[in-house]
Amino acid sequence: MINENCLQKRYADVSHLAEIIEIILISLGVFLTPLVIPQILSFIFGANSFLATNSQFVVGAIVNTSLVIAGINLKGWKKIFAIVFLPSISALFSGLVLNLSAIYTVYMIPAIWLGNFALVYLFKFLFVSKKVNYILTSICAILTKATIIFAGYHILLWSNIIPQNSKVATVLFTSMGINQVITAIMGCSIAFVLVKLLYSSKKEAQI
Protein backbone atom coordinates (compact mmCIF):
# COMPACT_ATOMS: atom_id res chain seq x y z
CA MET A 1 0.00 0.00 0.00
CA ILE A 2 1.49 3.32 -1.06
CA ASN A 3 1.66 5.97 1.62
CA GLU A 4 1.03 9.14 -0.36
CA ASN A 5 1.97 11.37 2.57
CA CYS A 6 5.56 10.13 2.54
CA LEU A 7 5.84 11.16 -1.14
CA GLN A 8 5.48 14.75 0.05
CA LYS A 9 8.44 14.48 2.42
CA ARG A 10 12.09 15.21 1.76
CA TYR A 11 15.26 14.46 3.68
CA ALA A 12 16.51 18.04 3.94
CA ASP A 13 14.84 21.36 3.27
CA VAL A 14 16.34 23.35 0.43
CA SER A 15 15.64 26.70 -1.14
CA HIS A 16 13.28 27.04 -4.08
CA LEU A 17 16.22 27.65 -6.41
CA ALA A 18 18.04 24.60 -5.08
CA GLU A 19 14.90 22.52 -5.60
CA ILE A 20 14.68 23.63 -9.22
CA ILE A 21 18.33 22.75 -9.74
CA GLU A 22 17.72 19.34 -8.14
CA ILE A 23 14.82 18.64 -10.48
CA ILE A 24 16.81 19.69 -13.55
CA LEU A 25 19.88 17.64 -12.63
CA ILE A 26 17.86 14.54 -11.71
CA SER A 27 15.83 14.81 -14.92
CA LEU A 28 19.00 15.14 -16.97
CA GLY A 29 20.50 12.19 -15.13
CA VAL A 30 17.63 9.84 -15.85
CA PHE A 31 16.71 11.03 -19.35
CA LEU A 32 19.84 12.22 -21.13
CA THR A 33 22.20 9.58 -19.72
CA PRO A 34 20.81 6.66 -21.77
CA LEU A 35 20.83 8.86 -24.87
CA VAL A 36 24.27 10.41 -24.53
CA ILE A 37 26.62 8.27 -22.43
CA PRO A 38 26.88 5.25 -24.80
CA GLN A 39 27.77 7.54 -27.70
CA ILE A 40 30.32 9.42 -25.61
CA LEU A 41 31.97 6.20 -24.45
CA SER A 42 32.10 4.86 -28.01
CA PHE A 43 33.55 8.11 -29.32
CA ILE A 44 36.24 8.42 -26.65
CA PHE A 45 37.22 4.78 -26.12
CA GLY A 46 36.05 3.13 -29.34
CA ALA A 47 32.93 1.14 -30.12
CA ASN A 48 34.58 -2.15 -29.16
CA SER A 49 36.14 -0.92 -25.92
CA PHE A 50 35.23 -2.43 -22.57
CA LEU A 51 33.44 0.71 -21.38
CA ALA A 52 31.49 1.11 -24.62
CA THR A 53 30.36 -2.52 -24.75
CA ASN A 54 29.44 -2.41 -21.06
CA SER A 55 27.78 1.00 -21.10
CA GLN A 56 24.80 -0.43 -19.22
CA PHE A 57 26.86 -0.29 -16.05
CA VAL A 58 27.81 3.37 -16.51
CA VAL A 59 24.29 4.36 -17.54
CA GLY A 60 22.71 2.24 -14.82
CA ALA A 61 24.92 3.71 -12.12
CA ILE A 62 24.04 7.28 -13.11
CA VAL A 63 20.32 6.55 -13.49
CA ASN A 64 20.12 4.72 -10.17
CA THR A 65 22.01 7.54 -8.44
CA SER A 66 19.46 10.00 -9.82
CA LEU A 67 16.56 7.79 -8.72
CA VAL A 68 17.93 7.47 -5.19
CA ILE A 69 18.45 11.23 -4.87
CA ALA A 70 14.92 11.73 -6.18
CA GLY A 71 13.62 9.35 -3.51
CA ILE A 72 15.55 11.13 -0.80
CA ASN A 73 14.91 14.78 -1.56
CA LEU A 74 12.39 15.22 -4.36
CA LYS A 75 8.83 15.63 -3.10
CA GLY A 76 5.51 15.37 -4.87
CA TRP A 77 4.10 12.30 -6.60
CA LYS A 78 3.89 13.99 -10.01
CA LYS A 79 7.60 14.77 -10.03
CA ILE A 80 8.49 11.32 -8.72
CA PHE A 81 6.41 9.48 -11.29
CA ALA A 82 7.91 11.60 -14.08
CA ILE A 83 11.42 10.70 -12.89
CA VAL A 84 10.48 7.01 -12.70
CA PHE A 85 9.16 6.95 -16.27
CA LEU A 86 11.94 8.92 -17.97
CA PRO A 87 14.85 6.40 -17.99
CA SER A 88 13.09 3.61 -19.87
CA ILE A 89 11.51 6.05 -22.33
CA SER A 90 14.93 7.52 -23.02
CA ALA A 91 16.46 4.05 -23.37
CA LEU A 92 13.72 3.06 -25.80
CA PHE A 93 14.38 6.12 -27.96
CA SER A 94 18.12 5.53 -27.98
CA GLY A 95 17.95 1.77 -28.53
CA LEU A 96 20.31 1.39 -25.60
CA VAL A 97 18.58 -1.35 -23.67
CA LEU A 98 20.75 -4.36 -24.37
CA ASN A 99 20.90 -3.52 -28.06
CA LEU A 100 17.91 -5.78 -28.58
CA SER A 101 14.97 -5.12 -30.87
CA ALA A 102 12.64 -2.41 -29.63
CA ILE A 103 9.78 -4.84 -29.12
CA TYR A 104 11.48 -6.59 -26.20
CA THR A 105 12.33 -3.23 -24.69
CA VAL A 106 8.68 -2.27 -24.85
CA TYR A 107 7.64 -5.51 -23.15
CA MET A 108 10.07 -4.95 -20.29
CA ILE A 109 9.13 -1.32 -19.66
CA PRO A 110 6.27 -1.97 -17.17
CA ALA A 111 8.57 -4.08 -14.98
CA ILE A 112 11.32 -1.46 -15.23
CA TRP A 113 8.86 1.27 -14.24
CA LEU A 114 7.68 -0.73 -11.24
CA GLY A 115 11.26 -1.52 -10.23
CA ASN A 116 12.34 2.10 -10.48
CA PHE A 117 9.32 3.26 -8.50
CA ALA A 118 10.02 0.66 -5.80
CA LEU A 119 13.58 1.98 -5.46
CA VAL A 120 12.44 5.60 -5.18
CA TYR A 121 9.49 4.84 -2.92
CA LEU A 122 11.44 2.68 -0.47
CA PHE A 123 14.03 5.42 0.00
CA LYS A 124 11.21 7.89 0.52
CA PHE A 125 9.30 5.61 2.91
CA LEU A 126 12.12 3.94 4.84
CA PHE A 127 14.99 6.43 4.84
CA VAL A 128 13.10 9.73 4.80
CA SER A 129 9.82 8.91 6.54
CA LYS A 130 10.74 6.07 8.91
CA LYS A 131 14.36 7.17 9.54
CA VAL A 132 15.75 3.74 8.70
CA ASN A 133 19.54 3.48 8.30
CA TYR A 134 20.77 4.27 4.77
CA ILE A 135 22.50 0.92 4.26
CA LEU A 136 19.48 -1.09 5.39
CA THR A 137 17.25 1.02 3.18
CA SER A 138 19.59 0.46 0.24
CA ILE A 139 19.54 -3.32 0.71
CA CYS A 140 15.73 -3.41 0.81
CA ALA A 141 15.39 -1.07 -2.18
CA ILE A 142 18.00 -2.86 -4.32
CA LEU A 143 16.59 -6.33 -3.70
CA THR A 144 13.02 -5.16 -4.29
CA LYS A 145 13.85 -3.42 -7.56
CA ALA A 146 15.92 -6.32 -8.86
CA THR A 147 13.24 -8.86 -7.88
CA ILE A 148 10.48 -6.94 -9.65
CA ILE A 149 12.44 -6.54 -12.87
CA PHE A 150 13.71 -10.12 -12.87
CA ALA A 151 10.19 -11.38 -12.18
CA GLY A 152 8.96 -9.35 -15.15
CA TYR A 153 11.57 -11.03 -17.32
CA HIS A 154 10.47 -14.49 -16.16
CA ILE A 155 6.80 -13.71 -16.78
CA LEU A 156 7.63 -12.75 -20.36
CA LEU A 157 9.79 -15.85 -20.70
CA TRP A 158 7.16 -18.22 -19.32
CA SER A 159 4.57 -16.57 -21.58
CA ASN A 160 6.83 -17.22 -24.58
CA ILE A 161 6.83 -13.51 -25.35
CA ILE A 162 10.61 -13.70 -25.00
CA PRO A 163 11.83 -16.70 -27.02
CA GLN A 164 13.14 -19.38 -24.70
CA ASN A 165 16.62 -20.80 -25.24
CA SER A 166 17.49 -17.85 -27.47
CA LYS A 167 20.28 -15.30 -27.45
CA VAL A 168 17.76 -12.64 -26.48
CA ALA A 169 16.69 -14.65 -23.42
CA THR A 170 20.32 -15.19 -22.39
CA VAL A 171 21.21 -11.52 -22.64
CA LEU A 172 18.06 -10.46 -20.81
CA PHE A 173 18.69 -13.02 -18.07
CA THR A 174 21.94 -11.27 -17.17
CA SER A 175 20.88 -7.70 -17.86
CA MET A 176 17.57 -7.94 -16.03
CA GLY A 177 19.07 -10.00 -13.21
CA ILE A 178 22.53 -9.57 -11.71
CA ASN A 179 23.25 -6.40 -13.69
CA GLN A 180 20.27 -4.72 -12.04
CA VAL A 181 21.72 -5.54 -8.63
CA ILE A 182 25.19 -4.29 -9.60
CA THR A 183 24.01 -0.98 -11.07
CA ALA A 184 21.64 -0.37 -8.15
CA ILE A 185 24.49 -0.96 -5.69
CA MET A 186 26.65 1.47 -7.66
CA GLY A 187 23.87 4.06 -7.68
CA CYS A 188 23.18 3.74 -3.96
CA SER A 189 26.90 4.03 -3.20
CA ILE A 190 27.32 7.18 -5.29
CA ALA A 191 24.15 8.67 -3.82
CA PHE A 192 25.47 7.95 -0.32
CA VAL A 193 28.44 10.25 -1.01
CA LEU A 194 26.23 12.91 -2.58
CA VAL A 195 23.84 12.89 0.38
CA LYS A 196 26.75 13.44 2.75
CA LEU A 197 28.12 16.27 0.59
CA LEU A 198 24.83 17.99 -0.22
CA TYR A 199 22.71 17.56 2.87
CA SER A 200 24.87 16.70 5.87
CA SER A 201 25.24 20.39 6.78
CA LYS A 202 21.45 20.82 6.76
CA LYS A 203 20.45 17.81 8.80
CA GLU A 204 21.91 15.05 10.93
CA ALA A 205 21.88 11.94 8.75
CA GLN A 206 21.04 8.42 9.86
CA ILE A 207 23.80 6.97 7.69
Span 40-77, pLDDT tens digits: 888 898 888 888 788 889 989 999 999 999 999 998 88
pLDDT score of 100: 52
Q: Are 109 and 140 in contact (CB under 8 A)?
A: no
Mean pLDDT of 165-178: 84
Please tell me what DSSP assigns to residue 137.
Answer: H
Burial class (CB in 10 A: 0-12, 13-18, 19+), 12: middle
**Which residue, 114, 26, 113, 38, is CA-closest to 73?**
26
pLDDT score of 180: 94
Q: Each residue of 132-147: pLDDT tens digit?
A: 999 999 999 999 999 9
CB atoms near residue 10 (< 10 Å): 19
Between CA 25 and CA 101 the distance in angstroms is 30
Tell me what percent of the chain is helix, strand and coil, each rounded to the nearest 5: 80, 0, 20
Between CA 8 and CA 183 the distance in angstroms is 27
**Helices marked H in 9-133:** 16-45, 50-53, 55-73, 77-94, 102-122
Burial class (CB in 10 A: 0-12, 13-18, 19+), 15: exposed
pLDDT score of 19: 86
Q: Each residue of 83-115: pLDDT tens digit?
A: 998 887 777 766 555 455 557 777 888 999 999
Q: Is 175 helix (H, G, I), strand (E, B) or coil?
A: helix
Q: How large is the C-alpha radius of gyration of the chain?
A: 17
